[in-house]
């Protein structure tokens, strides 16, 4: 663990199915930053239980919030599919008790900003 003394972010433990690309998307951190923070990991052979540094990226928030009114008979899955977002992201920006929605409820939908090539190199 001493190798993470300089991790300016969080230490994440690899789980089944994780890839650096999926972690980049989940934590909203450019892949290049994750690679720079973990120069000694084998990017082609991540091991379950292995720990890596996910660096902070304060300028990497790829979302803006859009208000959306739930329509009659619309489900959570309908909304997730319509906007191409993850349940975790929708729950993060809304005070939802469950996955059943009421028609007329107002949601904050995280919408991805367009990323520039500079963001990817960062």
3-state secondary structure of 106: strand
Q: In degrees, to the nearest 5, what angle opens at C-alpha 62 toward C-alphas 56 and 66?
A: 135
Q: 106-112 and 51-55: which strand pairing?
A: unpaired
- Do residues 40 and 2 make contact, with C-beta atoms less than 8 angstroms apart? no
Q: Mind listing the pLDDT tens digit of every residue in the chain (122 residues)?
A: 335 667 888 888 998 888 998 888 878 788 999 999 999 999 888 999 999 998 888 777 666 678 899 999 999 899 999 998 888 888 877 766 666 788 998 898 887 655 433 344 44
Helical H segments across the chain, by residue range: 20-27, 31-37, 76-83, 87-92, 117-121
Indicate yes or no: pTM above 0.75.
no
């Amino acid at each position: 663990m001493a190798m993470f003394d300089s991790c300016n972010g969080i230490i994440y433990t690899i789980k089944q199915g994780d890839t650096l690309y999926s972690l980049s998307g989940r934590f909203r951190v450019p892949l290049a930053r994750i690679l720079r923070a973990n120069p000694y990991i084998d990017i082609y052979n991540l091991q379950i239980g292995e720990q890596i540094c996910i660096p902070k990226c304060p300028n990497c928030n790829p979302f803006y919030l859009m208000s959306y009114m739930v329509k009659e008979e619309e489900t959570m899955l309908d909304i997730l599919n319509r906007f191409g977002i993850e349940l975790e992201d929708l729950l993060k920006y809304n005070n939802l008790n469950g996955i059943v929605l009421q028609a007329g409820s107002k949601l904050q939908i995280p919408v991805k900003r367009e990323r520039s090539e500079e963001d990817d190199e960062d």
